[in-house]
């Protein structure tokens, strides 16, 4: 009688003696959980980091309500479902100091420190006290020292006003990015001005229902309540979790199934022998499951721990671990977010799935009699559909043999095809995702004008003399530590609006009508002599022109020899994806005006360059003398690169700076990007920023700031996401290769006797390799065709969840990426074909013929 207790422990024998199978299964589990853990931890961590970064720009509130009275504010402050409120009184007062414009807002303590922290001094407590960011004070020519008197002049009344600086704030990310200079004062008592309230709800409160309740309680319109762009939505994250877990488990379980199937089927004869000596079917099933559970219990914690270590290393390498921001007057540091429940769900779900798979295989290997299992009859169910003797040539014979082997074990062949297919589809998706991330990085750099380490820009200019003087620009270029400088100078012009140029009349008519209602004049019209539209003529230096080359969409991109009568045209485009109603710097889309390279465009500008008057804007400067000039459009660009807050709706004209200097010798520099030496440490970077601020603040309305942190943040986010892609690719590649190699070995072992018999009657090793080559290529090509079909919905899904549509990019199937990945898969199939079993060699033919395998 078979000893059941000892029999059950035989699973340990199989674990120890079938080391290759054990290692393959172990790595299938360990790599699966390492991949799942890394992905879940980094996704949750990045979601938290991204949300915190958004809060530093858009406030950490859930929503904000404007136009509120004191009674309505009291209702909000007494609401137990509201965690906190931050209040701003009125709008702002515009002041001037040292030639710079600065905004003064009246706030409570919470509003002042929503996105900053007091680094020195205290918050203002009474009228006449202010706090400000350090970089703002430096731009105003004020040393950041507390308890000093600061005098500013009201831009509307011309009245001088004194304030006492009582505190220094940390730099506000949003203000610094856009170059906004702000001073913060306390709210005035008994004021009749309305309030703007930022609201943060308690964590347990449902946002949608609470907003509806507030609308009724406060008796305000739905337009008054605006959702904060940085409001965290856990539901979106959970949907991402479900998607990621489902996809990764599907791929990893397919790989595991293939590996485990081969591991079980390769020892069917041993199971048959155990059946012959008295082991029951139920005991064999239990033994199979125990072997699987033992490997699973060891590999899962190892995989999870490795995943946590890799996630920690990614956070460390990316620099996020050492980064800190300020919210609600507190320091916020970035830490790993470990989604314990999601990881545990993966462990449980995977355990249940492998239990089902193990049970199915236990049933499958025991459904035949012990004799059939020992003889291997249960593995020979294929049909002979290819008749080798009918082949007309040696190559045809070898090809038919390979087809026979494919059909003989359709299940194994099917899993090989499925593995390769999933691998190709996944890698194509990853390469497409990498492409979208690169586009997103470039688009966000454009959106935020992150085009230099240091930026000196103007919010608005209407005079050629405005901006940084040429003398000060030369000083900046000669500063120690400055490596490269890009500049833009320019002045307003009028473009002769020729007939026959296609345009989006609907948009232009709507915008001009809106501008006329607001200001009394639009951007186009008849000035008494010509039908014109307003634009700018901007002169770029050599480095700035060089930067434009990557944005050329039509024409010769060689801008080094830009002639005096040649122009670069920056044209806004409408979003053809219909996701954005307003035009923008889209690389794809329909241009607002249909200019083309080679077209001629005529302009006129005031000879005295006096354009900073209401008469000029209203097209009523009839006595002014104008100079006419005709340019030939050399290239069309999608993005002007240099910061230009005039943001003309009409095409922007760009030429070389030397030509602008010829027209306007006293012109200033309205935008300057500076790059420092690569080896500068933080102290030298800070010192260089202070030097630039001191020079920049001499010039009116020029905002100077460092963009190093913002650029680094944008690059960090991109590189971190690329780490995910590379990590997923490497781990998936290992899993796919484990499955393919195991399938390859198993298919060869099953035909050892037949191949060795063929070798005995004269079949050469090279012919054997050709059979394997044909077989693997057929399987690979079949997988490529299926993957081509599957890749379309996968890439469309990735396009849908990315920001490509928001940036005006239409969906295009990644043919080049797919071809690259498919070629790589076929190369691997070819490579694996050149390795054959040792038992197929000449000296081991006899042993191979007598093998059970």
Distance CA 599, CA 731 (A): 54
- Residue 616 burial (CB count, 10 A): 19
Output the pLDDT for position 751: 66
Average pLDDT (816-831) is 88
Q: Is the pLDDT of residue 68 over 60?
A: yes
228 token code pair: 């904060």
Distance CA 450, CA 462 (A): 24
* pLDDT score of 693 more than 80: yes
d(CA 308, CA 829): 34
Query: If DSSP codes are grouped into helix, strand and coil, which group holds residue 606?
Result: strand
Other C-beta atoms within 10 Å of 806: how many?
13
Give the per-residue pLDDT at 535: 94
| pLDDT tens for each residue of 225-243 | 999 988 987 777 888 888 8
Determine the pLDDT at residue 320: 66
Quote the pLDDT of residue 14.
67
Report which of residues 266 and 221 the model is more confident about. Answer: 221
Residue 387 has pLDDT above 60, yes or no: no
Mean pLDDT of the chain: 84
Runs of H (alpha helix) within 59-120: 70-77, 109-112
The model's pLDDT over 72-108, given as tens digits with 9 standing for 90+, comes to: 999 999 999 999 999 999 988 899 888 888 999 999 9
Instruction: Look at 265-269, 688-692, 696-700 and tell me which has the smallest mean pLDDT.
Output: 265-269
Higher pLDDT, 98 or 69: 69
d(CA 470, CA 467): 9
Burial 631-655 (b: 16+ CB within 10 A, else e): bebbbbbbbbbbbbebebbbbbbbb
Report the predicted TM-score, pTM, of the whole model to 2 decimal places.
0.73
CB 670 within 8 Å of CB 490:
yes
Q: What is the pLDDT of residue 779?
A: 87
Q: pLDDT at position 658, please?
A: 94
Do the Cβ atoms of 650 and 474 come closer than 8 Å? no
Total residue length of the chain: 853
Please give the pLDDT value at position 565: 93
Element (H, E) at 493: strand 482-496
Q: What is the mean pLDDT of residues 830-853?
A: 57
Confidence of residue 586 (pLDDT cuts 50, 70, 90): confident
- What integer pLDDT is reported at residue 383 of this predicted model? 44
Exposure of 617 in the CB half-sphere (CA atoms within 13 A): 13
Residue 83: phi, psi to the nearest 5?
A: -75, -50
């Amino acid at each position: 009688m078979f000893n059941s207790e000892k029999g059950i422990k035989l699973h340990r024998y199989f674990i120890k003696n079938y080391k290759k199978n054990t290692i393959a299964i172990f790595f299938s589990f360990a790599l699966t959980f390492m991949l799942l853990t890394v992905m879940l931890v980094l996704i949750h961590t990045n979601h938290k980091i991204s949300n915190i970064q958004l809060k530093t720009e858009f406030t950490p509130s859930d929503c904000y309500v404007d136009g509120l009275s004191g009674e309505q504010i009291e209702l909000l402050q007494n609401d137990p479902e509201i965690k906190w409120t931050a209040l701003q009184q009125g709008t702002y007062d515009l002041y001037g100091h040292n030639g710079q414009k600065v905004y003064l807002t009246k706030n409570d303590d919470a509003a002042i420190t929503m996105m900053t922290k007091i680094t020195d001094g205290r918050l203002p407590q009474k009228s006449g006290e202010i706090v400000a960011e350090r970089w703002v004070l430096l731009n105003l020519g004020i040393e950041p020292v507390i308890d000093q008197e600061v005098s500013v002049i009201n831009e509307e009344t011309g009245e001088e006003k004194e304030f006492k600086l009582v505190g220094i704030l940390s730099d506000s990310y949003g203000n610094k990015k856009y170059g906004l200079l702000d001073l913060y004062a306390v709210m005035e008592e008994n004021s009749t001005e309305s309030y703007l309230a930022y609201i943060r709800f308690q964590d347990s409160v449902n946002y949608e229902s609470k907003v509806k309740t507030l609308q009724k309680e406060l008796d305000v319109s739905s337009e008054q309540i605006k959702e904060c762009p940085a409001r965290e939505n856990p539901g979106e994250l959970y949907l991402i979790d479900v998607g990621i877990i489902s996809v990764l488990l599907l791929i990893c379980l397919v790989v595991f199934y293939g590996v485990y199937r081969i591991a079980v089927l390769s020892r069917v004869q041993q199971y048959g022998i155990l059946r012959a000596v008295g082991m029951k079917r139920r005991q064999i099933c239990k033994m199979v499951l125990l072997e699987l559970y033992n490997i699973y219990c060891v590999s899962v914690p190892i995989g999870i721990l490795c995943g946590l270590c890799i996630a920690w290393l990614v956070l460390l390498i990316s620099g996020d671990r050492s980064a800190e921001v300020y919210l609600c007057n507190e320091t916020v540091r970035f830490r790993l977010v470990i989604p314990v429940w999601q990881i545990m769900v993966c462990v449980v779900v995977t355990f249940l799935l492998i239990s089902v798979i193990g049970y199915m295989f236990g049933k499958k290997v025991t459904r035949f009699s012990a004799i059939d299992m020992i003889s291997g009859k249960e593995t020979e169910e294929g049909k002979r559909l290819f008749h080798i003797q009918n082949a007309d040539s040696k190559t045809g014979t070898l090809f038919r043999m390979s087809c026979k082997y494919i059909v003989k074990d359709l299940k194994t062949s099917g899993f090989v095809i499925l593995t390769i297919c999933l691998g190709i589809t996944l890698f194509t998706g990853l390469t497409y995702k990498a492409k979208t991330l690169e586009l997103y990085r470039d688009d966000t750099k454009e959106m935020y004008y992150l085009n230099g380490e240091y930026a000196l820009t103007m919010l608005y200019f209407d005079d050629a003399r405005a901006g940084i003087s040429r003398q000060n620009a030369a000083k900046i270029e000669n500063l120690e530590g400055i490596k490269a400088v890009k500049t833009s100078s320019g002045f307003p012009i009028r473009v002769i609006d020729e007939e026959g140029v296609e345009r989006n009349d609907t948009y232009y008519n709507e915008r001009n009508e809106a501008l006329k209602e607001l200001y009394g004049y639009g951007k186009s019209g008849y000035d008494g002599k010509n039908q014109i539209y307003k634009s700018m003529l901007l002169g770029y230096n050599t480095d700035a022109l060089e930067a434009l080359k990557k944005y050329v969409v039509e024409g010769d991109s060689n801008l080094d020899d830009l002639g005096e009568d040649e122009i670069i045209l920056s044209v806004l485009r409408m979003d053809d994806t219909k996701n954005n109603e307003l035009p923008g710097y889209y690389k794809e889309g329909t241009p607002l005006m249909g200019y083309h390279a080679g077209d001629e465009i005529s302009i006129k500008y005031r000879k005295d360059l006096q354009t900073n008057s209401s008469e000029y804007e209203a097209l009523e400067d009839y006595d002014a003398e104008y100079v006419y000039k005709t340019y030939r459009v050399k290239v069309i660009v999608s993005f002007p690169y240099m910061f230009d807050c005039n943001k003309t709706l009409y095409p922007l004209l760009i030429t070389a700076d030397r030509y602008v200097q010829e027209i306007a010798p006293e012109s200033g520099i309205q935008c300057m990007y500076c790059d420092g030496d690569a080896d500068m440490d933080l102290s030298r970077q800070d010192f260089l920023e202070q030097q630039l601020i001191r020079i920049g603040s001499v010039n009116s309305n020029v905002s100077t700031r460092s963009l190093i942190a913002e650029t680094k943040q944008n690059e960090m986010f991109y590189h971190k996401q690329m780490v995910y892609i590379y990590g997923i690719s490497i781990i998936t590649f290992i899993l796919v290769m484990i499955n393919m190699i195991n399938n390859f070995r198993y298919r060869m072992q099953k035909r050892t006797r037949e191949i060795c018999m063929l070798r005995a009657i004269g079949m050469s090793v090279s012919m054997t390799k050709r059979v394997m080559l044909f077989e693997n290529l057929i399987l690979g090509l079949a997988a490529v065709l299926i993957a081509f079909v599957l890749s379309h919905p996968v890439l469309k899904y990735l396009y849908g969840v990315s920001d490509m549509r928001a940036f005006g990019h239409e969906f295009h199937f990644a043919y080049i990426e797919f071809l690259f990945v498919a070629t790589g898969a076929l190369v691997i199939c070819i490579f694996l074909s050149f390795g054959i079993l040792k038992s197929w060699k000449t000296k081991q033919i006899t042993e191979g013929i007598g093998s059970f395998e």
